[in-house]
Amino acid sequence: MRKILFILPILAILTISCDDNKPDIVDLVVYLGDGFRYRYYNHELLKEDSTHCIKLIPQNIIDDREFDNHFIFYQLPDCTFYHDIHDSEIQIYDSVQIDSLDALFDKMLDIFNCYWIVTKEPSKVEGPMTKEDFEKLCKKYNIEPSFDDGSFAYKTWKVYDFFFNNWPTKEDVVK
């Protein structure tokens, strides 16, 4: 029993110190297409070409899978992105883009457990969608709609959702 009590604090210290070495922001090119690339950056999926960058799936992608011609994504949106869109100091979006993004974000927050399918060639993004719609589309594309429910990130978000499911609204963030 004493050995276990001695070993547990050491394991806890090692686990914490190992986590400190992991970068908070993941920047990874996930697919190079003809004249564009998909890039996964800080829990978002971006599409970049030689002239600009488009945010395809905004914040908080929790899990993803890659197939021959598709990616599938699971997302739990966080409405703090409203702040970035409406921040008067940044002003990178015009009023039409803001209205469009607001509609997208409202839909994501209504669904909450959002699923996305990105087709590589031809480049196409479908989502956000409910799990039922996602599973139907996966069947159409003949891909396995599975996410690792045992992953640490998935469990962490599920616990967070369970205890703090009173998520702030757009009005709470945009002032």
Find tokens 């978002």 and name the residue. 44
Q: In the chain, what's the furthest Cα-to-Cα distance?
A: 65
C-alpha span between 131 and 133 (Å, rounded): 6
Q: What stretches in the chain show pLDDT beneath 70?
A: 1-27, 79-84, 88, 90-91, 148-175
Helix segments in the chain, DSSP class H: 2-20, 81-86, 95-111, 131-141, 152-163, 170-173
> What is the CA angle 111-156-162, rounded to 5?
55
Are 154 and 148 within 8 A, CB to CB?
A: yes
Phi, psi of 173 (to 5 degrees): -95, -40
C-alpha span between 53 and 15 (Å, rounded): 37
pLDDT of residue 151: 61
Q: Where are the domains of the chain?
A: 2-173
C-alpha span between 33 and 121 (Å, rounded): 8
Tell me the pairing of strands 114-119 and 70-75.
antiparallel
